[in-house]
Amino acid sequence: MAKSHLCAGAAALALLAVPVVGQANDDLAEMMKDPKQWVTQLGNYAGQRYSGLDQITKENVGELRPAWSFSTGVLRGHEGGPLVIGDIMYVSTPFPNIVYALDLNDNGKVIWRYQPEQDPNVIPVMCCDTVTRGVAYANDTIFLAQADTTVVALNAQTGEVKWSIKNGDPSKGETLTMSPLVVKDKLIVGISGGEYGVRGHMTAYNLSDGSQAWRAYSTGPDNEMLVDPQQTTHLGEPIGADSSLQSWEGDEWQIGGGTTWGWVTYDPELDLIYYGTGNPGTWNPAQRPGDNKWSMTIMARNPDTGMAKWFFQKTPHDEWDYDGVNEHILADLTIDGQETKALVVFDRNGFAYTMNRENGALLKAEKYDPAVNWATHVDMETGRPEVVPEFSTAQNGPDFNTTNICPAALGSKDQQPASFSPVTKVFYVPTNHVCMDYEPFEVSYTAGQPYVGATLSMYPPQGEDHLGNFIAWDAAEAKMLWSKPEPFSVWSGALSTAGDVVFYGTLEGYLKAVDPSNGEELYSYKTPSGIIGNVTSYEHDGKQYIAVLSGVGGWAGIGLAAGLTEGTEGLGAVGAYQSLADYTQLGGVLTVFELPD
């Protein structure tokens, strides 16, 4: 980032006389308290995906019925979900990233639509389908992150463009799939493209005009990463000067991945944003000796300046593509008798981490799927997983096919967000139950071309026939409470409610409701296509509704979405999910559910 941005940011902060407690966008933060609306993709800044509405209960959820539906007109994977602001619902689609404003007073009549003009050449550069994870809202504005990295601010009432900026360069493999987050007067936006040798970064843009406030890279020199080597810590110790540069060979960090396509959460009291960085490039670990910092890392930063407070690297020298971008859920928990401001992440690598979000201390780390075998445990002193040599693709070397690694590269959970109920103090987690064979090979870097360097095959764990589980997890005790098997990976975001019901969707297309105490299925309804979207709830005219996007795709459904048939295509996922076509087909549809009058 240019030095002028840092100086301007510091000067502005000095003039604003910022109070001790971080100021969230006041209107947005207040709206998050209203359970009748759904104003951010994860429900609130803490990322809890919890609804305070309680009309739909364990006793009556079985009576749910479709109230109305809306076809998006797009046939690729529909991740993310709708926002509800007052009487308007906002829905976005995969490429070409259409945004619809729907009138809740008229069964979803289109008030306006925005369809950007994008070069379709961006489609083959997108890893794992042409998804987007939804729009953001603040200040009567809808913020859209397009596949071609354009970020657009739209008038929420009319759809007119307020401003537009470019966040990256698709010709270099940079794309954009994440949902941005508004914090105070900034829009926080990441970047995709880890499979193309992209150097990851997180960027803040000023809401007023789209000008860049700061950019923090995941790898490289301290000044470009926005770290103070003596003040930024890892497990309580300063990271030291040029910590990233020292963990890469030569200038590999420049194409080192660490992209930031997952979720961002925020603690207004601590005034810190939290997000994860993805896999290092390439997938062949022999080409990048070292810990490859700071890929695979939880980052805690000041939203005004971007300066880092603490890091925690979950999978040093990643050998399996265990992207570290999953959502970081913030919850206040009693851990070992102490009231703790916790951060909980169900990482792709199969371990559930409970951290102290104030200082990055590691409190708990346990497997949340018993099939996980690539590491025995996490060393609580160093934070490093203890790798099992048999499953080390680095130790086995290039051109050696390491078999039966669990989990597969898509992880024990991918980006599909979990839910936390502040009532039960339990996390409800959609998971994958998939293993893989992994064969690295030498690959050279060319800008805009795939920089993967591995061939994968995926399948269920040995002796089992299901590819997913929906689980309940006690993060304070680091233990599973119950697990509900599913035939396919659960690729839908979960929702817990004050009505004591938990919702999620399945790849075959079922919206399901379960009892949070034991996972007993209370309701299911098959929507027109597989669900990889996130379940939401809102209230309109005094009535609670449940809404979900169906539209099979994403990494698990890439075979259907992109018409792939070879087992190793789709970075190895096609083979594991070939039978999915027997249960569902393509189709983007929003379905809204209600109780009968």
Q: Which of 322, 316, 321, 311 is nearest to 362 (CA)?
A: 311
- Range list of β-strands (E), 115-169: 136-138, 141-145, 150-155, 161-166
Copy the structure tokens of residue 472. 């309940």
| 380: number of Cβ within 10 Å | 12
> Which has the closest alpha carbon to 440: 405, 403, 404, 393?
393
CA 477 – CA 371 distance, rounded (Å): 20
What gap in Å lies between CA 535 and CA 496, rounded to an integer? 9
Catalytic residue from among 222, 318, 321, 437: 321
Those residues with Cβ within 8 angstroms of residue 370's Cβ, 6 or more apart along the chain or in another chain: none
- Sign of the Cα pseudo-torsion (576, 582, 588, 593, in order): negative
Nearest Cα to Cα of residue 49 among 390, 545, 493:
493
Q: Are 472 and 513 in contact (CB under 8 A)?
A: no
**Residue 321 appears among annotated catalytic residues:** yes
Contacts of 93 (CB under 8 A, 6+ apart): 72, 73, 74, 78, 99, 132, 588
Residue whose entry in the numeric block shows the structure tokens 């309680």: 54
Question: Distance (Å, rounded) from C-alpha 318 to C-alpha 237?
Answer: 22
Q: What angle do CA 575, 555, 405 make, to 5 degrees?
A: 60
258 neighbors 276 (Cβ within 8 angstroms): no
For the sheet containing 141-145, what is the strand order?
A: 136-138, 141-145, 150-155, 161-166
Neighbours of 132 (CB within 10 A): 24
DSSP label at 460? P
Closest CA to 378 of 357, 362, 397: 362
Q: Identify the residue whose tokens are 């987007």.
A: 132
Q: How far apart are CA 15 and CA 85, in angstroms?
A: 33
Q: How far apart are CA 570 and CA 476, in angstroms?
A: 37
Class of residue 283 by CB neighbours under 10 A (exposed 0-12, middle 13-18, buried 19+) = buried
Burial class (CB in 10 A: 0-12, 13-18, 19+), 377: exposed
The three-state secondary structure class of 401 is coil
Going from the C-alpha of 507 to that of each of 68, 483, 502, 551, 557, the distances in angstroms are 21, 17, 17, 9, 8
Amino acid, single-letter form, for residue 387: V
> Do strands 297-301 and 272-276 pair parallel, antiparallel, or not at all (unpaired)?
antiparallel
CA distance 80 to 337: 36
What span, in angstroms and rounded, lies between the C-alpha atoms of 152 and 166? 9
Given the structure tokens 């739209």, which residue do they identify?
Answer: 154
Contact at 8 Å (CB) between 180 and 151? yes
Active site residues: 321
